[in-house]
Amino acid sequence: MSKGIGILVVVGVVVIGAIMWATGVYNNLVGLEEGVTQAWSQVENQYQRRADLIPNLVNTVKGVADFEKETYTAVTEARSKVNQINMTSDMLNDPQALQKFQAAQDGLGSALSRLLVTVERYPELKANENFLQLQSQLEGTENRISVERRTFNQVVQSYNTTIRRFPANFIAGFAGFGQKQYFKAVAGSEEAPKVEF
């Protein structure tokens, strides 16, 4: 009889240990996934900062009478496309959704770059204090976006690595934790842009 109780105690300890291990792994995965969501929020925060600066920048540029209308129209249209995409953290598992979001953001970045290059031909605009402040804020925001995207990719790497490692991959698969998508470079970004004045 004492042998039977000993076996039950050992089995009970093993079962409790397995449950505690699985709970720890699950809680770790939840924490990592929340880290991905938080990092994504920071990326969105910086994109929103950029989007909020654009109307002021465009209005300042419009003040120069002979400035190319198609240039600031392109910026306005690109910003509109960005605002039409409502990316949620749940969509980070969907490569097409992230790619669409990234393409819209890259289009806006490209339109802003064209705007800033075009400004070089307008000395009165380059001397405008309002424009210079907005340009400086926009450059700072672009740097922040880059930093937040890098941080996001690092957090995603940690999360994706954890859900793929043995034996945590069993808990991740059972609980429905899927891989998150990374931000990737735009096709052709390995080539330096050509700037002409």
Judge contact between 111 and 78, C-beta under 8 A: yes
- Rounded alpha-carbon distances, angstroms, from residue 13 to 21, 22, 150: 12, 14, 44
Tell me what pLDDT residue 190 has.
47
From first to last of the 197 residues of the chain, give the pLDDT tens digit: 678 888 888 888 999 999 999 999 999 999 999 999 899 889 888 888 888 888 877 777 776 655 667 776 788 788 888 877 877 777 777 888 888 888 888 888 888 887 777 777 777 776 777 778 888 888 888 889 889 989 999 999 999 999 999 989 999 999 999 998 887 766 654 454 444 43
In three-state secondary structure terms, 68 is: coil
Closest CA to 155 of 31, 24, 27, 46: 31
Judge contact between 32 and 159, C-beta under 8 A: yes
Here the tokens at position 59 are 């209005």
CATH topology of domain 2-175: de novo design (two linked rop proteins) (1.20.1440)
